[in-house]
Structure 1
Amino acid sequence: MDFTILAVLAVLVLVAITVLAPRVGVAAPLLLVAAGVLISLVPGVPTAEVDPEIVLAGVLPPLLYASAVNMPALDFRRDLRTISGLSVVVVVVSAVSIGGLVSWLVSGLGFAEGTALGAILSPTDAVATSIVRRTGVAPRLITLLEGEALLNDATALVLLRSAVAAVAGSVSLLDVGIDFVQAVVVAVVIGVVVGGLSLGVRALVADATLASAISFVVPFIAYVPSERLGGSGLVAVVVAGLITGYRGVVELRAQDRLAEQVNWSTIAFLLESAVFLLMGLQVGPLVDDFRAENGSVGRLALLVVIGLASLMLVRAAYAGAVLLSQRRMLRSIPALRPRIDRFREYLSSPDAQRLSERRRTRAHASLVRHESDLRFYAEQPLGRRDGTVLVWAGMRGAVTLAAAQTLPSDTAQRPLLVLSAFAVAVLSLLVQGGSLAWLVRRLGVEADRSRTVSEQVDALTAAMTDLADQRCDDVARDGLDGVPVDDAAVRRARQESRLDRSTSWAGPEGPEQEDRIAAYARVRRAVLSDQRSTLVEIRASGRYDSEALTELLTRLDRAELALSTVE
């Protein structure tokens, strides 16, 4: 069939299933996987063969970049220790555990082959975690799951590379450690450089369409050199995305940010949906390969059970450790209060005045940030029910699909290993993903933070209004950049700066009206600049939730974009 027709049909199928999903009460990714499985088992359907490198190097970079750009850097920082443990400790322990059990229980497979399978199965998937967002769990849980999925690929792929090398010869634990450190360090450096440079280049491009076009290649600019230099291309992509998301609020124009949101949401939808459908379509050909090798269904079932059980038990053990550590930390907060108060008093003392203004400012910002973090941990703690969801929500997806197919063709019992990996991934999606919403309702962990976020949005809106009034008073009294401004322009800028109303000019058109509009636009931009700078400072302090700050920053972007209609 012509490729164009196939592409059109594929997009229509993706859209149709996504529209149908809410009506049948099933998450769209699950329907896509199920549809793919059914299609692949129909006799005569063409085999869906996709080079795994296309998934690893062509599909995952833009998907991870889109997720990283939208990841709140504040929330990511607060739970970085837990995310790092999920991304490294859980992956390593899961892979080694599966390797040991496979070598013990499955004849013909050694520890290296078992560890390779464990490395393939251990990473959760950023695409699969999109299912979690639909269940209404706490934003903190979503941050943990998405942060884990963004970073655990590096650990898994390094382990897989080492396990494959061990099958062919020997590899030392030191070599594995050096390989991992190199992969992370190289990736972080390249990600930071690419993220910063891409923002600088896009800021120089006046056209929002061209700036968006540049953003499309940023993931690949980060991925390719990192892989060539021995780093993790996927981690480099994530770092570049985090840098872009955090600094883009300041360095990019409003039209660039809004255009990027629309364009990348479309790309993410198409790629995510295609990955789920592809997972299902791959099942039929894998079953055929397994049968051609006269594979044992019993051995397949044993590997699947070993994989699922090991992944769940290791994850549960780590979740328990996280909850225990958090409980101890929360108990220590009262003891920290006196130390915080003493430090605050010191900053106001004559001794602190001997420090430079810059050091005092940084120390005060650090104090505010630390207090905000403690308040966050106290107000949004993780309980046993959250831990249960954290364990059950660890689903596998595209990374497992691609990594399994990178196993060398001469690997012992390769069809068995590949099919078992796919079976674990598909079952985790269908069983865990299909029951996740029910589990969340059953445990009662739906996070109704709408009131809290609404209150914070109202507080931030009031603060922005006060700031706008102050700036407009200054402009009315002193002018803007030394130039007097028409009172009507200042009044309109004051009204528009409330962020919750819009007005229109009244009166006849003419040169005088045009001058007023131009003056209004200049005042309005000055106010918006002050408001954005203040929100960025508030974001750095951590005093408000990311959701509330995102809402206000989006309002500012829309207001700035609206200015183009009057200029």
Structure 2
Amino acid sequence: MEALIIAVAGLLVVAAATAFAPKLRVAAPLILVVVGIAISLLPFVPDVHVEGEWILAGILPPLLYSASVSMPAMNFRREFNAIGGLSVVLVVLSSVVLGLFFAWIIPGLGIWWGIALGAIVSPTDAVATSIVKRVGISGRVVSVLEGESLLNDATALVLLRSAIAGTAATISFWGVLGNFAYSVAVAGVLGFAIGHLNLWVRSKVTDATVNTVISFTVPFLASIPAELLGASGLVAAVVAGLVTGHGAARRLSPQHRLSDSQNWRVVELVLEGAIFLLMGLELSAIVTDVQYRNDGVGPAVVVAFGALILTLVVRAAYIAPLLAGLRRRARRSAQFKPRLDVMQQRLDGTLALPEAGSAAADERQVELARRAALANRPAPANRPAPNPEQIERVKTRTRRAIADIDYLLAAPLGWREGGVLVWAGMRGAVTLAAAQTLPLTGTPDRSFLILVAFMVAAFSLLIQGGTLAWFVRWIKPAGPDVEAEKQERRRVLELLTTIENTIRDAHPVPLEEQTEVQTDTAADAAQDPEQPPAQRFADMKRVTIEIIEAQRTALLDARDDGTFDADILNNALDNLDADQISIELKGQPLGQ
């Protein structure tokens, strides 16, 4: 009964923090950490301890799966270079630098245990994304932060395991590298397979509630086998989520997607809130243990502050050249774009090839022969004409390449955006959960290391998270381009209107009747005595749903090509889903 009371009280605290956070203009996770710390310091509150494995295996897989499902795969692909660097290279670099720092400042720790503690405090938390979204900033920054928070946890945990093995001198550098490659590769394959299997099974299920229940098992179906095979369960859950999120709009019904969205939002709220509340609640037990075994918490505070400053310095030192590389990539893309534009015009038939025998054609043939000679292959004079499928593939790749370049040029990442990326790199729940997986036997001064990890996470959340909104206003990075968004919405609306008009023109049902399915009455139906009212109503529903499905297909094709902004497309797809659900739920008109 006591556990039940605590659970109910915890849910109420999470709900209250979430409800009051917008009014206080503070992120809900920060409120929950502070509330948890305050409660843990009360004399009548017992010590709270949660095994780290429960968080790593029971809470993080569904949380990361939910976040990856909602992340646009197009943005993840476009920012993969930055995301991969921050998730892998920066985590490894931070772990090694912090490991040297910890080994130097903590007596008797050793380099491998130092790297293990460095791996614990290296991964960033996704809470920064919600804060950045609220203050309004470029969508590219949000995409990079979201992608980083999805993948860096797995890197840190694999490195943590390898460092612990290194303390026993049973692993080499190449062993660590091979272990990491195996962990990611196996997890990626499993996540990909589970994601597609998930879509196939759920596309056969008609009940939306059953469908959602099945979706709750997906992150565990991906993570548990991966962990049993020695791979990363978190990577498997993320990949399964990305595959599901990308394919759900084509494979699942609107009712299923709406049910998923609503229920997963609740699960995400409860689990995320529970993690941050537990972070605060565990403070008392950790502090008591350290005070009993050491000279107080003072040394831990000093070490934690030093580690937090060092993480920011290392992050800034890595992001600076990363942004320079992204700018070089954008410049090269801008130089290459005119050639792609010409190629697209020729593929679309709006720009003809030079006529045979003309000077331009002769110059083109000479250029092709020169390139063939340099490549040591025959000149393409008698090359067979490509088939329609090949032409269509080239068209698709060209459209995507042009859209990717437009995306890079529309929102460049400068030093202001880089400053936000540095300051938004907050530590959080993963750090504390990973710290509690340190072995009970063999870890030197385990309670002290856990307290250091906790304080790094808590200081990071409270200092960086508490000042992130102010920091964004002070540094003034580029925000969303309002005018460009308006133009995008107009283009999307024009596309939808064109599809609607084309389908309506192909059907004999009068326009005013097609557009008023929701208000059709018996009196309206009586206007056409040649057709039964029920049949006429069914035809109008069929035509309207046909329009919506055609519009959805066009939007998904545009999403795959990267033609429009991901957030605008998602909003348009949500509106289509709502319209289709509303129409499908309507019964016969009144009086029939």
Q: Structure 1 length as normaliser, TM-score?
A: 0.93
Q: Within 5 A, what are the aligned runs for 1:153-172?
A: 153-172=153-172
Give the conservation status (yes or no) of the 8 Å contact 2:95–2:115. Answer: yes
Separation in 2, partners of 1:93, 1:416:
23
Contact 2:103 2:114 in 1 (8 A): yes
User: Do the aligned residues in 1 keep the contact of 2:315 with 2:422 (CA within 8 Å)?
Assistant: yes
Do residues 405 (structure 1) and 436 (structure 2) align? yes
Do structure 1's residue 492 and structure 2's residue 513 form an aligned pair? yes
Structure 1 position 474 matched with structure 2 position 506: yes
Listed one character per residue, the Cα deviations across residues 280-332 of structure 1 (whole Å, up to 9, x for unaligned) are 11111100110111245453234213321221111101210122112222332
**AA of the residue aligned to 1:387:** G
User: Are residues 141 and 507 of structure 1, via their aligned partners in 2, closer, same or farther at CA, if it must alter by over 3 Å?
Assistant: same
CA RMSD of superposed structures (Å): 1.9
Q: Determine the structure 2 residue equivalent to 1:514.
A: 534
SS at match of 1:428: helix
Which residue identity is paired with 1:367? Answer: T
Aligned to 1:543: 563
Q: Which residue of 1 aligns with 2:394?
A: 363
Change (3 A) 1:199 1:96: same
Q: Secondary structure at the match of 1:134?
A: helix
Contact 2:132–2:142 under 8 Å retained in 1: yes
Task: Show the 5 A alignment for 1:400-439.
Answer: 400-410=431-441, 411-439=443-471
1:457 and 1:345 map into 2 onto residues whose CA distance is 24
1:329-365 CA distances to partner (integer Å, 9 max, x unpaired)?
A: 2332442134324544664659898112111111111
User: What secondary structure, in the 3-state scheme, does the structure 2 residue paired with 1:277 have?
Assistant: helix
Assess if the C-alpha contact under 8 Å between 1:151 and 1:235 holds in 2.
yes
Partner of 1:483: none
Q: CA deviation at 1:530?
A: 1.2
Give me the whole-angstrom Cα distance separating, in 1, the residues matched to 2:144 and 2:299.
34
SS of 2:47's equivalent? Answer: coil
2:405 corresponds to 1:374: yes
Whole-angstrom CA distance in 2 between matches of 1:331 and 1:408: 49
Deviations 1:360-385 (A, max 9, x none): 11111111111111111111111111
Q: Secondary structure at the match of 1:137?
A: coil
Report the CA distance between 1:444 and its aligned residue. Answer: 1.9
Residues 309-320 of structure 1 mapped to structure 2, 5 A cutoff: 309-320=309-320
- Work out the CA distance in 1 between the residues paired with 2:126 and 2:505: 48
- Please show how residues 138-287 of structure 1 align to structure 2 within 5 Å: 138-287=138-287
Contact 1:75–1:546 (Cα < 8 Å) also in 2? yes
SS in 1 for 2:585: coil
Q: Is the 8 A contact 2:541 2:583 kept in 1?
A: yes
Contact 1:66 1:241 in 2 (8 A): yes
1:140/1:341 CA distance change after superposition, 3 Å: closer
Preserved contact between residue 426 and residue 461 of structure 2 (Cα < 8 Å): yes
Aligned residues: 550
Which residue identity lines up with residue 431 of structure 1 in the other structure? Answer: I
* Compared CA separation, residues 172 and 473, structure 1 to 2 (3 A): same
Once residues 558 and 192 of structure 1 are traced to their aligned partners in structure 2, the CA distance between those partners, rounded to angstroms, is: 29
**Amino acid in structure 2 at the alignment position of 1:48:** V
Partner residue in 1 for 2:358: none
8 Å Cα contact 2:518-2:583 kept in structure 1: no
**Once the 2 structures are TM-superposed, how far is the Cα of residue 450 of structure 1 from its aligned partner?**
4.2
- Whichever residue aligns with residue 267 of structure 2, its letter is I
**Once the 2 structures are TM-superposed, how far is the Cα of residue 24 of structure 1 from its aligned partner?**
2.5
Which has the larger Rg? 2
Distance 2:500 2:394 in 1: 28
Unaligned runs of 5+ in 1: 477-486, 497-501
Deviation digits for residues 491-524 of structure 1 (CA, Å, limit 9, x no counterpart): 433x36xxxxx85114436882211111112112
Structure 2 unaligned regions, length at least 5: 355-379, 588-592
Contact kept in structure 2, 1:517 and 1:566, CA below 8 Å = no
Partners of 1:303 and 1:164 in 2: how far apart?
A: 21
How far residue 15 of structure 1 moved from its aligned partner, in angstroms, is 1.4
Pair 1:459-2:483 in alignment: no
Contact 1:289 1:415 in 2 (8 A): yes
Distance (Å, rounded) in 1 between the aligned partners of 2:83 and 2:513: 47
**8 Å contact from structure 1 (residues 98, 306) kept in 2:** no
CA distance in 2, matches of 1:21, 1:344: 49
1:529 equivalent among 549, 554, 565: 549
Q: How much does 1:106 deviate?
A: 2.6
User: Which residue of the partner structure matches residue 322 of structure 1?
Assistant: 322
* Shift, 1:541, TM fit: 1.3
Is the contact made by 1:187 and 1:232 (CA closer than 8 Å) also made in structure 2? Answer: yes
State the distance in 1 between where 2:114 and 2:540 align: 68
TM-score of the aligned structures, taking structure 2 as reference length: 0.89
Deviates more, 1:441-450 or 1:182-191: 441-450
How far has the Cα of 1:421 moved from its partner? 0.3
1:128 offset after TM fit, Å?
5.0
Equivalent residue for 2:81? 81
Shift, 1:237, TM fit: 0.4
Determine which of 415, 420, 430 is the counterpart of 1:384: 415
Aligned to 2:51: 51
Q: Which moved more, 1:430-439 or 1:466-475?
A: 466-475
Establish whether residue 504 from structure 1 lines up as the match of residue 519 from structure 2: yes
* 8 Å contact kept, 1:191–1:238: yes
Q: For the structure 1 residues 278 and 451, does the alpha-carbon distance in structure 2 shift closer, same or farther, using more than 3 Å as the test? A: farther
The answer to which of 266-275 and 330-339 deviates more is: 330-339
